[in-house]
Amino acid sequence: MIIVYLNPETSVSCPKKSVSVGDVTEVYCKNKSIRKKIQSLPLMRMDDTDHKKYVISTMTLIACIDASLNMPVVIQNIGASEIVVTASPKKSKKLIVFGKVALVMLITFFGSIFAIMTYNEDVDVTGVFDKVYWVITGAQRTGPGLLEVFYGIGVASGIIIFFNHFGRKKLTKEPTPMEIEMEKYETDITNTVVKEASRTKQVMDITKE
């Protein structure tokens, strides 16, 4: 009897559009020819959308292997039960990557300066803007100006980007922080209900009926 071991990870990234079994899981078999054949089995084909995520069950892997091998095999999974496959984007040009890094550095630098200044002024944002305006122009402000406008735009943009949606439209296909927290909350509720039922001996056991 031939035994095949699968050890898939929870999340993998694949740059190819045609995904094979070997791209999403480690495969071990004493018979090297069978192992190579399993690794090269076509599993799925991704579209041209970068960063798109696909969820594959290990049952799909087992069914794919079982249907392709014309021999009796025992397949054992010792890894994750579901695999998230992410379509890797094409590598960006070095100049674009450098520009993105520089932009993040500038935002972090000036954001840190603003945070320190407002902290020292007891979160008096208006007072900070007055002093910044005086340092740059040498004159006193007479009322709200462009600094407040850009500040408001920056705060709103930061909130939208962080929460990853505006209204009902998501900016990316990644789950939002709220969705992640709700999933954690549901998991905590499920675990609590199971533990409470086990503690009070209310778990159904059909063998005792």
In this structure, CATH architecture of domain 2-87:
Sandwich (2.60)
pTM for this predicted structure: 0.58
pLDDT for residue 107 is more than 80 = yes
Q: Please give the residue that has the higher pLDDT: either 67 or 209.
A: 67
Q: Per-domain residue ranges for the chain?
A: 2-87, 94-163, 177-203
pLDDT (mean) for 60-76 = 87
Q: Tell me the pLDDT tens digit for each residue of 156-186.
A: 888 888 888 777 787 777 788 888 899 899 8
pLDDT for residue 125 is more than 80 = yes
Residues 6+ apart with CB under 8 A from 65: 4, 21, 38, 41, 73, 75
Residues 34 and 107: beta-carbon distance below 8 Å: no
pLDDT for residue 14 is more than 80 = yes
Q: What phi and psi values does residue 78 have, to the nearest 5 degrees?
A: -115, 15
Nearest alpha-carbon partner for 38 in 72, 65, 70, 11: 65
Q: Tell me the pLDDT tens digit for each residue of 186-203.
A: 888 888 887 887 777 665
Angle at Cα 106 formed by Cα 112 and Cα 148, nearest 5°? 65
167-194 exposure pattern, b = at least 16 Cβ within 10 A, e = fewer:
eeeeeeeeeeeeeeeeeeeeeeeeeeee
Residues 114 and 128: beta-carbon distance below 8 Å: yes
Q: Is the dihedral of CA 128, 129, 133, 134 positive or negative?
A: negative
